Structure 1
Amino acid sequence: MTARALVDRGLMPTLAGRDGRRLSQLASELGGLDFRIADAADRGSLTALINPGDVVISTVTPFRTLGEEVVRAAVTRGAHYLDVAPEPPHIRKVFQKWGRPAREAGVVVMPSVGFSFTPGNIAGAVALQEAGPQATRVQVAYFVLGDFEQNSFSAGVLDSVTGALFEPGLVRRGGVIEAEMPGRRERTYVIDGIERSALSVGGSEHFALAQFQPQVRDVDVYIGWLRPDPKGRSLLPKSATSTARLSPGRAITKMMHRRLVAAAEEGPDSAGRTAMVSMVVAEAQDSSGNTLSRVTLTGPNPYDLTARLLAWHASAVPNCGPQVAGAIGPVGAFGLTAAVEGARQAGLERVD
């Protein structure tokens, strides 16, 4: 889907992966693209693939085990880097470990481009701008609305998202990034008249929103599609989230997670994607927790939204000057006006 979105923008990406047959088929379908065999676990194949000035887009999952080698290869070869990682340990590593090498190499590295967590970065930045200097806290929540079934997530996404429930997350408190297990906190939102529960997670907003507004001291990110709504629908089964946060039974829960991923399919077809709607809610608050501004964005399903956001970012990032090199979020890289326009082109619209 990302390759198709890139071609739709007039770009001619080189496809890379382990399966030459599938690469050849996709390359042919998209008008005869170049393709290369490469493996995220093989450092040599990555460095041979990447050239200075390239834009590397990584959709390798899970990022907690496979992601860093691609970042390393991109930075070492002087290439910009984008990925779709929803996994807090990888996000933290990109910002804290690879930010300085990327800055010295004069390239941008940007994790979590897509539904997780670009819309929250943009909505949060707009809310902060509207709230003014009194805003020191941001809360962001993600939802997937509409009709969906168990196969609404592919195996790769399930592995990244549910696997991250067992890994240390992160939170920004008092201006400091701290470790915090996912799901430690819970908040309820009223969406379309329905109360929806959301669990705390780590996202790129914890780093990037403070880059945009240094006075931001506290950042919270929640996801509200892990649990069923009042009609009993859920993108993930209760077992994937209800016990993953608890010490007792973690081994059993991990086994259930492996079975869940193994049984997953390739994700929803076009009709299945059309039935889903992405939503993000961002609130800028003062130090007492009073909401000063609220921004809600809606857009297409997470898959199409992610592909379109990646394509826009890939076309825009070569124009970033050396002053924004390093690990950075979309608003810091492009400016708020351009980032909002990129989100609009991807299908995100503000509804309040």
Structure 2
Amino acid sequence: MKIAVYGANGYQGKLVLAELARRGMEMVLIGRSRERLSAAASQVGVADAEIRIADADCSHALASVDALINCAGPYTVSGQAVARAAITAGCQYVDLSGEQLYVKEFFDDLGPDAERAGVALVPMMTESGAIDDLLAALLAARLQPAEIALAHKNLNTGGLSRGSARSALKTIDFLRTGGLAYEDGKWRTDAPALRKSVTFLGGEDVPVVKFAMPAVVTIPRHVDVQRVQGLLDAETGERVTAAALSEELIEAMPEGPSEEDRRAQRFTIVVDATADDGSSVQATATGNDAYRTPAVMAVEAARRLIADPPKPGVLAPAQAFSPADFLDFLGRNGLTWAIAGWEAR
């Protein structure tokens, strides 16, 4: 089982390398600069790992590779080119995207080619994407939802990585609209917020604003639902959309939060499903380290795609993997999740 990492020298890429090394998996580092890749490999403690040089059109660098993890954001810029390279090479594909429009266009554009190539492409293996998608699938199995609201509350110490900041800069105008909501088979940026506040764990009632959560565009692909919308605690939403970002400021930032700051990060997710008759069911998830968690998710996703390939095509996480089983795996790696009426995990 050989897994390649594109963008391996970036902040998120090195966390993925560290997770591959922790699990004893064979890896290939792919990127534009041998010097930077070598430095990343040494920093992570995998100095003997194989290095291959390629840009986003990296199909020639994927020989004998079983799966590709794309860590090179902003995905809006080059994500599809890397995914198409995986299609050409005939290897499975995972990325850690959180850019809502990118995820929508990924599904719109790449499905038929992936199906013909016989490979699965699974984007958005992040806490802000895959966990929402997996929880929503479990809720829909218990209740026929008319409406699903995805609410997040974040405590992110140490700030963003440069990659996350660049992704925000590329999509800042779209983020300021509140992103896409799904209503009656259509995508809208002008839909009113489904909630003004959300009660998070501990009974804390928190003001929320519309936000471009990526799972808004995947959930309607496998759940029969009328409305889906993403929400973010208002404090974080204001901080993200009001940020005065520029490439010069980003370049002057630290590469990313320190390990100590990452360990202090907290994220809380509430997914509410409501039926036409007003009945509802709720799922919650809490975790820490919003950068290591996606690395763990992406490596496990790649492993599962190789070991037990799903149907080919572009797939939401809940279409590619058993939702409860994948969440239970995350539960052994720091995530606590529960659904009303189920024992907390």
Q: TM-score range by the shorter chain?
A: 0.7 to 0.9
- Residue by residue over 1:1-56, the C-alpha shift from the partner in whole angstroms, topping out at 9 and shown as x without a partner, is 1111112122111011223223113334126211112222xx3xx12112376211
- Structure 2 residue runs of 5 or longer lacking an equivalent are 1-14, 340-345
Aligned to 2:301: 313
- Residue by residue over 1:36-88, the C-alpha shift from the partner in whole angstroms, topping out at 9 and shown as x without a partner, is 12222xx3xx1211237621111111111121210111112212111111112
> What TM-score, normalized to structure 2?
0.83
Aligned to 2:330: 343
Query: Does 2:270 correspond to 1:281?
Result: yes
Distance in 1 between residues matched to 2:135 and 2:168, nearest whole Å: 22
Q: 1:102 to 1:275 in 2, by over 3 A?
A: same
Q: State which of 169, 183, 198 in structure 2 corresponds to 1:189.
A: 198
Give aligned-pair identity as a percent: 23
Distance in 1 between residues matched to 2:192 and 2:257, nearest whole Å: 26
- Residue by residue over 1:236-267, the C-alpha shift from the partner in whole angstroms, topping out at 9 and shown as x without a partner, is 874x514x8xxxxxxxx6xx444543342111
Q: State which of 270, 293, 296 in structure 1 corresponds to 2:281.
A: 293
Aligned to 2:120: 108
Distance in 2 between residues matched to 1:346 and 1:160, nearest whole Å: 27
Aligned to 1:173: 183
> What TM-score, normalized to structure 1?
0.81
Distance in 2 between residues matched to 1:25 and 1:332, nearest whole Å: 37
Check whether the contact 1:78–1:105 (CA below 8 A) recurs between aligned residues. Answer: yes
Query: Does 2:35 correspond to 1:21?
Result: yes
Aligned to 1:72: 84
Aligned to 1:92: 104
Aligned residues: 319
Check whether the contact 1:5–1:307 (CA below 8 A) recurs between aligned residues. Answer: yes
Aligned to 1:198: 208
Query: Does 2:166 correspond to 1:159?
Result: yes
Deviation at 1:183, TM superposition (A): 9.8
- Residue by residue over 1:264-292, the C-alpha shift from the partner in whole angstroms, topping out at 9 and shown as x without a partner, is 2111111111111122110111136x351
Check whether the contact 1:83–1:110 (CA below 8 A) recurs between aligned residues. Answer: yes
Q: 1:204 to 1:164 in 2, by over 3 A?
A: same
Deviation at 1:143, TM superposition (A): 2.0
Check whether the contact 2:38–2:47 (CA below 8 A) recurs between aligned residues. Answer: no
Counterpart of 1:189, as a letter, is: V
Aligned to 2:51: 35
SS in structure 2 opposite 1:302? Answer: coil
Counterpart of 1:268, as a letter, is: P
